[in-house]
Copies of this chain bind each other. A is one copy, B any other.
Amino acid sequence: MCRWLAYSGTPLPLEALLYKPKHSLIDQSLHAKLGPNTTNGDGFGVGWYGDDDDPALYKGVDPAWNDQNLREISRQVQSHLIFAHIRASTGSPVQYTNCHPFRHGKWLWMHNGQIANFGLVKRDLTLAIAPDLYPFVKGSSDTETFFFLALTFGLEDDPPLGVERAVGFIEQVCRRAGIDHPVRMSVAVSNGLDVWAFRYSSEGQPPTLYFSTKVSTLREQHPEIPAFQALSDESRMVVSEPLGDLEGAWNELPASSYGVVKLGPDNLKQFTPRND
């Protein structure tokens, strides 16, 4: 299980999200409250959109709390659309190529949760990745396989549909292999304009996921973060765990749903895995 954060809105330096809040993502790397692991020390990653279409990445295999370079870069880099992730491995090795977020062209993808018994179905899932996408798979994690399945199933044309079909397919393959509870997930994906955030579990409760609601409340709750005072009302965060006190600022995303952060009013829709 991991922790992640997605941000879209008024350009912010990374540090305003990663270091400044009381229960910041870096703090969560040592003291997560809502997941099964208090420690998320198996690597980390940040992705952000700058002047190019393609997002930039900075990833590391040491615990995020110890990375001097992350601290430096977080003061230098500003972006209007930021993904950040701290990892608690569910088995695959701690190496750059297994750190989130994953990137393909202009797309970023990150995940908290797992495909259960991944080793048992890895071959079948990997074979289902489109052959022209296959060479872009660099690591060995369930999350990267999931991402490339979503790409195979049409993520770039219709993100929710791509994810629903990928999850439907994974559930089918897993169940054929006798795996119960195949998928637990909170996933964020972006093309540099919009952000889609999914919360789902094949059975039982999915991992937690929260949307920031009123920016005015965030401003009040975090007087210690000057950058937050300048946030536009459209600015939005999606997080595994609230960065501070919950009340008034954060709404839980319901299970089996997804939200879209975009220009204009955001959407909240139902998420249903598909096998078509």
A: residues with CB less than 8 A from B are 30, 38-39, 41-42, 50, 52, 56-63, 66, 68-69, 72-73, 75-77, 89, 93-97, 119-120, 122-123, 126-127, 131, 134-135, 138-140
Contact = CB atoms under 8 A, between A and B. Distances in A.
Q: Which 9 residue pairs are nearest across A and B when measured between Cβ atoms?
A: A95-B95, A123-B134, A39-B39, A119-B135, A41-B41, A56-B76, A66-B94, A56-B72, A58-B69
Given A41-B39, A42-B66, A72-B58, A97 B140 contact: yes
Contacts of A89: 66
A120 B131 CA distance: 10
A240 to B, nearest CB: 18
**Interface-centre pick from A66, A126, A138 (highest chain B CB count, 10 A):** A66
Contact of A59 (B69, B122, B123): B69
A73 B96 contact: no
A46 to B, nearest CB: 10
Given A39-B41, A41-B41, 17 more contacts: A41-B63, A42-B63, A56-B72, A56-B75, A57-B68, A58-B72, A59-B68, A59-B69, A60-B69, A62-B62, A95-B95, A95-B96, A97-B140, A122-B134, A123-B135, A127-B127, A138-B140
A68 B97 CA distance: 10
A69 B45 CA distance: 10
A69 B69 contact: yes
Contacts of A42: 63, 66
A97 B138 CA distance: 12
Determine the main DSSP class of A at the interface with B: mixed
A131 B140 contact: no
Contacts of A56: 72-73, 75-76
Contacts of A68: 57, 59, 93, 96
A57 B70 CA distance: 10
Best-buried of A69, A122, A135 by chain B (most CB within 10 Å):
A69
21 contacts: A38-B38, A39-B41, A41-B41, A41-B66, A52-B75, A56-B72, A56-B75, A56-B76, A57-B72, A58-B69, A59-B69, A60-B69, A62-B94, A63-B63, A66-B94, A69-B69, A73-B73, A93-B95, A97-B140, A119-B135, A123-B134
A76 B50 contact: yes
Nearest to A122: B135
A259 to B, nearest CB: 28
B30 A138 contact: no
A39 B40 CA distance: 10
